[in-house]
Structure 1
């Protein structure tokens, strides 16, 4: 996002710095989408496949190699074919255009968004099917809220907000929806993974409870020990 802001403002519009920014922007955009694809695969393994049957050794290392390594391929190809595709255009924007944009930017993005849409549909189908089995155990409202929450989380986590971005050229409404949803992606993930997770809330609450006695000058060592023991008992 920082590279995009620098490129969009045109602060470095000379040839060489602009080419460097264009390369970094192209690489970072593709890397972001590759991480969204990794997220889709992980969520599919967690929510659809049988837990434990798809355990992959060195999963994080392999995910990093793919997400950070795959974007190097189209960037390297463009650099080897014609480095000037990253030169500033008539608007002063440093980014591939024309055929290079369609082949090295739009095609990979479309492939990943399409794959994530398929995974999104499969996960929702699995979640709804599992909810139908559990319907006699939980209330209808609770199950519906869980389905809605899962749908919203996956929509942002898998980068499906970019569907609006791909359609922005055909509809002003899609352009506004893209600007709103894309900028809220990090905030929505924070709500679900930090505020919405009981373990995360307990972790930060526990850390705050431990810090307060340590920073207080009025508490005695015995009081601090008692507070720590009480916190450990609550955690257990």
Structure 2
């Protein structure tokens, strides 16, 4: 009757015990999501975002501390993406606590900041795809001046423009806790759902091109082996994380599989920061080398050979031969956007 209570139409009680109540319904309402699963999803969200925040922080510190790791364009884009994801996870973790003060202005600021970092994260995932598109389709045929500067203007500027156009009011909303978020459904669907969908469609298109490129490069190899297949699998998984294809799972959260889809969406996206660390720090040889040079001691420590010949060889490799991060795309990404000559000039 418009009072917000439970509607009993279409359901009847089958049995009642001290532990559970069973009902028979003739429609597909997922009561489990509204009751038990919501609490579980809350715990998964906070644990996943907390873990991701820690590893995103380690990733940022690693790339910012070691100058050799941030010489190429992909690494600089990765730094910005990690910063956006770290901001998103941090504000999400603080949202419930900040909203508990019930201060109108603070809640507006929290909602705006959360909205901004969400859009910034999605935008930088789109820019990752743009860079991969240049690396594959326009390879050796394009040079973009002020390449990273233009990416930064787009990656951080577009979300700011969108935020300035949106009216944000406090609202009780996310999961099982009181939080600050968009109250207007029209703004939410236009500035979040539609924006994310647009970016994901572009990213999926680039991802398909990447798969075609990987397949073609695999066909050109003289002999296929398990190691190359493992590298290709690593490349595909790494690219999936970088361009945020896991976010597309959220658009399938309806129908009989809604509960399973929501769990997948929650686990995959809150763990994105951990996977960024896994593929671009822990599994990356040159990052591990910098850790051993600067952080390890004793027999685990490596010497830093910075002589002219060694340095020149490293710069040539970064410009024309692939690094170990995404076995196909990162191999040609620097030279495709004109970064290799710039890197050599910096090194010289």
Residues 168 and 174, structure 1, Cα contact 8 Å, conserved in 2: yes
Residue in structure 2 matched with residue 223 of structure 1 by the alignment: none
Equivalent in the alignment of 2:44: none
Alignment deviations for residues 67-117 of structure 1 (CA, whole Å, 9 cap, x no partner): 100012221112xxxx3x422247843222311111121111110111111
2:144: which partner in 1? 56
Q: d(CA) in 1 for partners of 2:138 and 2:129?
A: 16
Alignment match, 1:220? none
1:174 is matched with which residue? Answer: 261
Q: What residue in structure 2 maps to residue 28 of structure 1?
A: 117
What is the aligned residue count? 213
Kept in 1, the 8 Å contact 2:100–2:178? The answer is: no
* TM-score, length-scaled by structure 1: 0.79
Higher helix share: 1
Shift of 1:203: 2.0
CA contact (8 A) 1:161 1:181 kept: yes
**d(CA) in 2 for partners of 1:182, 1:66:** 23
Q: CA-to-partner distance for each residue in 1:110-132, whole Å, 9 max, x for gaps?
A: 10111111111111111111111
Structure 1 segments, 4+ long, off by >6 Å, are none
Q: 164-173 vs 109-118, which deviates more?
A: 164-173
What is the aligned partner in structure 2 of residue 65 from structure 1? 153
- Report deviation, 1:169: 4.7
| CA displacement, residues 144-203 of structure 1 (integer Å, 9 cap, x when unaligned) | 212211111011111111112233354111111112211221222222222222222222
TM-score w.r.t. length of structure 2: 0.55
1:6 maps to which residue? 94
Change (3 A) 1:6 1:191: closer
Which string of whole-angstrom CA distances, capped at 9 and with x for unpartnered residues, describes residues 39-73 of structure 1? 11122333x13543333211111111001000122
Q: Relative contact order: is structure 1 or structure 2 higher (C-alpha 8 Å, sep ≥ 6)?
A: 2
CA distance in 2 between counterparts of 1:86 and 1:112 reads 26
Partner of 1:165: 250
Structure 1: segments with no counterpart, 5+ residues = 214-226
Cα deviation, residue 207, structure 1:
2.1
2:278 aligned residue: 191
Structure 2 unaligned segments of length 5 or more: list them. Answer: 1-88, 311-348
Q: Distance in 2 between matches of 1:233 and 1:106?
A: 49
Distance change >3 Å, CA 204–CA 6, structure 1 → 2: closer
Task: Work out which of the residue numbers 219, 229, 251 in structure 2 matches 1:144.
Answer: 229
Q: Is 2:174 the partner of 1:87?
A: no
State the secondary structure of the residue aligned to 1:119.
Answer: helix
Distance (whole Å) between structure 2 residues aligned to residue 89 and residue 203 of structure 1: 46
> C-alpha separation between the residues in 1 aligned to 2:236 and 2:210?
9
Distance in 1 (CA, whole Å) between partners of 2:172 and 2:103 is 11
